[in-house]
Structure 1
Amino acid sequence: MTATIPFSARWTRLATGIATAAAVVLGAAAETTPATAAPRATTASLSAVSATYTPAQAKAKLRAAGITWRSSKNCEDKNRNGCTSFQGIRRTTVDGVISLRRASRCPIVVTGAAEIPPHKTTGTFTHGKGYKVDIALNPCVNRHIPRHARKIGSATWAAGSVEYLRESNHWDIKYKGSGSGSATPATRAWPVLRSGARGHAVTTAQQLLRIGADGRYGPATVRAVKTFQREHRLTADGVLGAATWQRLAPTLRSGARGNAVKALQTQLRRNGARIAADGAYGTATAAAVRAFQRGRQLTADGVTGPATWQRLLTAR
């Protein structure tokens, strides 16, 4: 007669097998869960593995994005000063650096990653815990970061949950996003446009209003804004502020067509997207929106809502 294995023992063995298989698939070194370990401990181990890349995975991802790295002593020891180590680097940190590379189109050289010395070791968001990287200064990056983040200190900028500190010979970048890779977008005010204004935001407003788009906020634009405001029961002062923008800039997604889509495509092209401004929200436009969103720490869903419009209109 075959002996019956108690359910608790079968569950423990199954959980152990799952944890071991996951570690192999992810390419991460994981300790074998003892046969007596509780299922709760196994779940925690899986979460820890999924939050980080192995050094090989991190380097492969960076290399594929055209990002290089170096160390002053040409080493990768996490505990040795002068090394650049990717041991324990968080996925959101690596993915964040890649997003910066794609959004800026700047050369990126990582000079510090998850090594401990000589970095600060106290606190949650440290190099040693995989939340930070250092990248070398260069004119392209030095222009891009201040233009696309808000200044919060004498040499510090922030965009969503990412903080950029400019030091003497590198940028120290802290990625505080959750393990899922999400990040809260930085709050941006809608541009306020009035008679005499010029620029790309004026052009977008004119396209949305379906009038001649010359980028100049003249009498015809003032009249069109006033008409739109009256139709939507807004104060008809001819000034294009937050309340008017929120009515004027619609939420757009795949399948949409018309002047609003053309206005969106024009803004995306201004930010480097290689797409046609044909007024059709197809796969190329959706992909361009997602790329822009990733570069600005927005939810990369390919849908153009208020947050994406704000970032497009305020990007320099």
Structure 2
Amino acid sequence: MSRTQLLPARLLTLAIGTATAATLLLGTAAEATSPTPGKHGTAAARPAASPYYTPSQAKAKLRRAGIAWRASKGCEDKNRNGCTSFQGIRRTTVDGVIALRRASRCRIVITGAAEIPPHTTKGAYTHGKGYKVDIALGDCINRYIVNHSRPTSGSKRVAGTVEYLREGNHWDITYRPGGSTTPVSRAWPTLRSGSRGHAVTTAQQLLGIKADGRYGPATARAVKAFQRGHRLRADGILGPVTWQRLAPTLRSGAHGTPVKAVQTQLRRHGARIAVDGAYGNATADAVRVFQRGHRLTADGITGPATWQRLLTTG
């Protein structure tokens, strides 16, 4: 460092002028945060971002996402049984849980994170290494995970690189590296003026208007009326948020126009059933066949995942 750089700011200002001094001082401050030169004058590479969150960072992000956590013994010690610790939690794990919360809109409570006991499983992707979390069971999150993953072996389910294992009173979730942190799901179709096809026909059936498969002014008006009635943005575009309100979950015993819409879609996919608006055994069986063919839970219930597959495949 030169003698000029060692001069106090006040003397430097008097010697070479206020503007020049400010420039030098600001340059020195910037130098502290910029890459340092290497041996041969080239800038040294900045250290890579840590793959982990600190406990305070993890808790702040989870709290902002509306995710709670608890420990049976009310502690955060990584090496103590009964604690829930975020020490050594991976960024992808925290971000994955947040993505699950946003996609499912379900209440999520973390009951286990990066602590070692009682998670003594050996392997590359463990709790202690920050790849896993446990979340409490709940009707909403149970349904979402089942509908947006496929079964593999035993109680294990997968969605992309995310693994779900139902254990006792919680889901054990593994976020493996190198893949999406969000559960795999097929998007709802987005329909607007000018759209045509079977998805438009289904939307028209659900709206209770003439089902001709053409998204014209009458369909746009019906969509806007539906959106206003459900306090949605009334733009006349049938996107994911509107679909979720429009397409109800149906099961054995249901009757009416929505059932006819499902039956019409099932027939399009090869089911030999009547379009009679009655969700009886034949319809439930046809739904199960369709679900098995598309790696969904074969429960005979037409929920969001089944609606999505019906509307976007074939």
TM-score for the superposition, normalised by structure 2: 0.51
Question: Matches of 2:162 and 2:108 in 1, distance apart?
Answer: 17
Match of 2:204 among 210, 213, 218: 213
> Are 1:314 and 2:314 an aligned pair?
no
Question: Matches of 1:65 and 1:187 in 2, distance apart?
Answer: 21
Structure possessing the higher radius of gyration over alpha carbons: 2
Question: Matches of 2:66 and 2:77 in 1, distance apart?
Answer: 23
C-alpha distance 101-315 of structure 1, shift in aligned 2 (>3 A): farther
In 2, are the aligned partners of 1:148 and 1:315 still within 8 Å (CA)?
no
Q: Shift in Å at residue 122 of structure 1?
A: 2.5
C-alpha distance 311-58 of structure 1, shift in aligned 2 (>3 A): farther
Q: Shift in Å at residue 89 of structure 1?
A: 1.0
C-alpha distance 182-111 of structure 1, shift in aligned 2 (>3 A): same
Question: Matches of 1:16 and 1:124 in 2, distance apart?
Answer: 38
In 2, are the aligned partners of 1:52 and 1:88 still within 8 Å (CA)?
yes
Q: What residue number does 1:80 align with?
A: 80
- Alignment root-mean-square deviation, CA: 4.9
Question: Matches of 2:310 and 2:175 in 1, distance apart?
Answer: 21
In 2, are the aligned partners of 1:151 and 1:158 still within 8 Å (CA)?
yes
In 2, are the aligned partners of 1:15 and 1:42 still within 8 Å (CA)?
no
Summarize deviations over 1:217-253 as a string: whole Å, max 9, x none. Answer: xxx98xx89xx9xxxxxxxxxxxxxxxxxxxxxxxxx
Q: What residue number does 1:90 align with?
A: 90
Q: Shift in Å at residue 59 of structure 1?
A: 0.6
Q: What residue number does 2:233 align with?
A: 276
Q: What residue number does 1:60 align with?
A: 60
> Are 1:159 and 2:162 an aligned pair?
no
Question: Matches of 1:19 and 1:68 in 2, distance apart?
Answer: 39
Q: Tell me, what secondary structure is at the counterpart of 2:48?
A: helix
TM-score for the superposition, normalised by structure 1: 0.50
Q: Shift in Å at residue 206 of structure 1?
A: 3.3
Q: What residue number does 1:123 align with?
A: 123
Q: What residue number does 2:262 align with?
A: none
| Code of the aligned partner of 1:276 | R
Instruction: Calculate percent identity across the aligned residue pairs.
Output: 53
C-alpha distance 19-140 of structure 1, shift in aligned 2 (>3 A): farther
Q: Tell me, what secondary structure is at the counterpart of 2:205?
A: coil
Q: What residue number does 2:27 align with?
A: none
Q: Shift in Å at residue 71 of structure 1?
A: 0.9
What are the residue-to-residue correspondences of 1:246-265 with 2, within 5 Å?
none
Q: What residue number does 2:48 align with?
A: 46
Q: Shift in Å at residue 279 of structure 1?
A: 4.3
Q: Shift in Å at residue 182 of structure 1?
A: 3.6
